[in-house]
Amino acid sequence: MILDPMEVVGTDGVKIEVKPGEEWPCPYRGSGYSTRWVSGQEILGWRRDPLQMQAAPHPQHMYEEVRRVKNDRGGSFRITAHGAVITKVQDEHDEWIAKYVGLYDEKNEPLTFEQLDTQSDLKLGMYWTGLPFDHGDRWTVSPSLMHSNTAKEYRYRLRWENPMGKYFSTRKYPELGYRCLDIRPSGGRIYITESGSIWMNIPDEGMASHYRKDFMKMQREQIEKFQAKGDRAAAQLRLLHERVLETNCRPIFVGQIEDFDHGEPPWTSFSSSRIPTDYTDV
């Protein structure tokens, strides 16, 4: 955990410096984790009932700083695609306020899970082997937004939807958009994690035909390798299975954000009159 201020793009596109412990001025989104104290043991991890995973090695500094901002209480927190560790705290009026904790220090204190093969060298079209639920900032790539005749205000932008409406990325992402549409022409959801990895949902019938043979071959080889590991890969196979069952889509690795457009994750564009609340789904 790096306890440095962070410059963010907030309301109406204004850049703001936020310091650790201060209120988070952007949408509350990102990969979901939690801290707990169980039977005298400190636990920082991820859970999707009934499956629970504990980060190993234990990220002690992150654990301590998240709990410090939460007034020494356990509970959930998020890490955005920009590496901001954020959490929610109840104020004196019992309202939940989002707070900035610090920056995710992937080099010195990475979040890794023994049950997942997250260190594999993934290639385009392989199964995403990270967490397949609540992992990454969610965006939608739409073919209509990639057309040159689309209104300039929205052209080449990524879209985010929640119950309050539709929001767009502050910058344009034509390279990323066209790469995703080349794989899934109808468009769909993508996820950008705190490590810069991009993965997306692809139903079998929605996959571009020129990728189908190669992608299916790589995916079969992945599954065979997981099956050969036996119990060591049981959680990985289970999560992949649950993802496909729940969404009717395969979670596919696309690439790293550093290789597209500006090389940086998108910020959300929102106005002071319509500030989005948090919203989590698959």
Residues 16-36, mean pLDDT to the nearest whole number: 96
Query: How does the average pLDDT of the chain come out, rounded?
Result: 92
For residue 274, what pLDDT is reported? 63
Percent pLDDT > 90 in the chain is 81
What are the residue ranges spanned by the domains of the chain?
Answer: 6-113, 137-268
User: What mean pLDDT do residues 198-213 have?
Assistant: 96
216 three-class SS: helix
141 vs 52: which has the higher pLDDT: 141
Q: Which token pair is 102?
A: 């610090």
- 3-class SS at 98? strand
pLDDT in tens, 157-167: 999 988 778 99
pLDDT tens, position by position, 248-281: 999 999 999 999 999 999 999 998 766 666 544 4
Largest CA distance in the chain: 60
Residue 107 pLDDT more than 90?
A: yes
pTM over 0.85: yes
Cα(1)–Cα(63) distance, integer angstroms? 9
**What is the pLDDT, as a whole number, of residue 272?**
75
In this predicted structure, the answer to whether residue 282 has a pLDDT above a threshold of 50 is: no
Is the model's pLDDT at 136 over the cut of 60? yes
Residues 176-202: tens digit of each pLDDT? 999 999 999 999 999 999 999 999 999
Give yes or no for residue 119 having a pLDDT over 80: no
On the question of pLDDT at 121 being above 90, the answer is no
Is 201:249 a contact under the CB 8 Å cutoff? yes
